[in-house]
Amino acid sequence: MPRTPVAEILRSETPPGAVTVMGWVRTKRDSKAFSFLEINDGSCLSNLQVVVDAAIAGYDEAVVPARTGASLVIQGNIVESLGKGQRWELQASKVELLGGAPEDYPLQKKGHSMEFMRSIAHLRPRSNLFGAVFRVRSRMAYAIHRFFQERGFVYVHTPIITASDCEGAGEMFRVVTMDGEVVKTGDEEFFAKPTYLTVSGQLEGETFACALSNIYTFGPTFRAENSHTSRHASEFWMIEPEMAFCDLMADMDLAEAMIKYLVSDALETCIEDLGFFNQFIDKGLIERLEFVRDRSFERVTYTEAVELLKASGESFEYPVEYGLNLQSEHERYLTEKHFRCPTTVYNYPKEIKPFYMRKNEDGKTVAAMDLLVPGIGEIVGGSQREERLEVLLANLKDHGLEESGYGWYVDLRRYGTVPHAGFGLGFERLLMFVTGVANIRDVIPFPRTPGVADF
Ligand code: 4AD
Ligand code: MG
């Protein structure tokens, strides 16, 4: 049964003529001789208005029992709509009921809380908001591949099961058997060493950059941190480009160019969905996205940022002191109040950053960078990598890490080492930024957070 997506019909400049539409009933209104249906098939935000004459085939069997949530096949003709707001409507000639939906269909009314919607994650994509979020998610994934492929970056699939803790934060999920035992083959542990779900594909990504020059990864990552914030998930997707023959400045250039490219692509290709977010989620959204697309970003060193925060006169919950991590409230002050635009903070104290970051000439800082955006804070974290063998070995020691666990990583510095740099973009943080949706749980199809692994 070939069907015509509603998006295609509504986009058409000339009346598309005879079509078969399949979708779910959003609303139904009956008059004496006609029923008016709003049909949504998820291909776009808008519903298709359908007029059904009570005299047509299937009316009593399909249209009379069809309630909100029911699925229908509708054949008919597209004609100019006399109602306002919509150009085309479907005059049905035949209707067939695929699946009814009784009165207890949970999405009857608008205005459910986000918390309630999370409890029906299997049905929430049928709502306007979540349909829009997940269309934008799909488009942004595509745009990310386009951005890198257009620039000649090679897509690398790094492993999900790994033995190394890239960030050195000890926030890894261990891989064990179903009964909680370490997996064994005979007497040996399954992988002959403890293994975990990866927190980052970076270390493996570096090996490929040190062969193919410019690469990126795009896959799921996992963090066993007990954070209950609106910006942390236990499972999230990360995009990690890595460039050989590259320093921190070019790394920051790439991160900024990528954010601009993605925002610009969303404004171009997802404008109907963004319009919905702008109206119902975040009134300043489109203006902010246009600003991000059109204006240049700010850059400050960590040391300068600390000075700005100290001089701000703001009373922060967490202390501001050289050597301490910037908290979300500090990041938001910089982007929302001080600079009023996305801001890249770079050259952080070495003590608060992982072992792989390149030591600067000052001996105190490393060539790290975080790209911060208004409303969220950190969306990208990256660095130039330590390519000098002796310095890397010293870094491992300083961080209390065994060289033996990183033999292959150290080898990259032993054989044909090159300066290289990269970063990680949190995909869900990007989606929060582009949609204005305030909680990370609402941009992930089936979110995983401490205590929650439903569906
Ligand atoms: O700053 P992070 O920890 O950096 C890395 O993992 C590096 N290995 C990346 C690299 O240089 N290749 O994480 C990168 C980004 C953060 O800026 C944030 O956007 C996102 O990943 N992120 C999270 N997103 C959702 N939930 C969490 N728990 C996240 N932790 C990090
Ligand atoms: Mg970070």
pLDDT at 381 over 90: yes
Give the mean pLDDT of 404-428: 97
**Ligand 1 atom 30 nearest Cα:** 232
236 Cβ below 6 A of ligand 1: yes
Residue 353 CA to ligand 2 centre (angstroms): 9
Query: Does the CB atom of residue 377 touch ligand 1 within 6 A?
Result: no
Give the pLDDT mean for 351-378: 96
Q: Nearest C-alpha to atom 4 of ligand 1 is from which residue?
A: 381
Question: Does ligand 1 come within 6 angstroms of the Cβ of 354?
Answer: no
Alpha-carbon gap, residue 93 to 199, rounded angstroms: 55
Kindly give the distance from the C-alpha atom of residue 424 to the centroid of ligand 1, in angstroms, as a whole number. 6
Domain boundaries, the chain: 6-99, 124-442
Residue 221 CA, ligand 1 centroid: distance in Å: 9
Q: What is the pLDDT of residue 192?
A: 86
Q: What is the pLDDT of residues 292-317, one digit of tens each?
A: 999 999 999 999 999 999 999 999 99
Of the residues 165, 221, 234, 238, which should be mutated to test ligand 1's pocket, given the most ligand atoms within 8 Å of the CB? 238
Ligand 1: which of 200, 258, 384 to mutate, most ligand atoms within 8 Å of CB? 200
Q: Is 378 in the pocket of ligand 1 (CB under 6 A)?
A: yes
Binding site membership of 166 for ligand 1 (Cβ less than 6 Å): yes
pLDDT average, residue stretch 38-47: 97
In the chain, the amino acid numbered 296 is S
Rg of the chain on CA atoms, in Å: 26
Q: Which atom of ligand 1 is nearest to the CA of 233?
A: 26
CATH superfamily, domain 6-99, is Nucleic acid-binding proteins (2.40.50.140)
pLDDT confidence of residue 319: 96
Q: Is the CB of 240 under 6 A from ligand 1?
A: yes
- Nearest CA owner, ligand 1 atom 21: 426
Asked if the model's pLDDT at residue 108 lies above 90, the reply is no
Q: Do 424 and 380 meet the contact criterion of CB atoms below 8 Å apart? A: yes
pLDDT digits (tens, 9 = 90+) for 237-267: 999 999 999 999 999 999 999 999 999 999 9
Ligand nearest to the backbone CA of 199: 1
Distance 426 CA to ligand 2 centre (A): 9
| % of the chain surpassing 70 pLDDT | 98
Give 200 Cα–ligand 1 centroid separation in angstroms. Answer: 8
Question: Measuring from atom 6 of ligand 1, which residue has the nearest CA?
Answer: 200
CA of 238 to the centre of ligand 1 (A): 7
Return d(Cα 190, Cα 188) in angstroms, integer: 6
Is the pLDDT at 176 greater than 90, yes or no?
no
**Mean predicted lDDT score pLDDT of the chain:** 95
Question: pLDDT class for 182, splitting at 50, 70, 90?
Answer: low
- State the distance from the centre of ligand 2 to the C-alpha of 378, rounded, in angstroms: 7
Closest of 444, 123, 141 to residue 270, by C-alpha: 141
Pick the more confident residue, 81 or 85: 81
Check pLDDT > 90 for residue 183.
Answer: no
pLDDT for 85 equals 79
The highest-confidence range among 79-93, 107-121, 143-157, by mean pLDDT, is: 143-157
Q: Is the CB of 307 under 6 A from ligand 1?
A: no
Residue nearest to atom 27 of ligand 1 (CA): 232
Which protein residue has the closest C-alpha to ligand 1 atom 5?
A: 424
Site to probe by mutation for ligand 1, drawn from 429, 440, 443, 449 as the one with most ligand atoms within 8 Å of Cβ, is 429
Is 221 near ligand 1, meaning CB less than 6 Å away?
no
Nearest Cα residue to 273 out of 438, 76, 434: 434
Q: Which ligand is nearest to the CA of 447?
A: 1
Mean per-residue pLDDT for 437-455?
96
Tell me if the domain spanning 124-442 has CATH number 3.30.930.10. yes
233 lines ligand 1 (CB under 6 A): yes
Does ligand 1 lie within 6 Å of residue 165's CB atom?
A: no
Q: What local confidence, expressed as pLDDT, does residue 180 receive?
A: 66
Ligand 1 site, residue 76, Cβ cutoff 6 A: no
Tell me which residue has its CA closest to atom 29 in ligand 1. 232
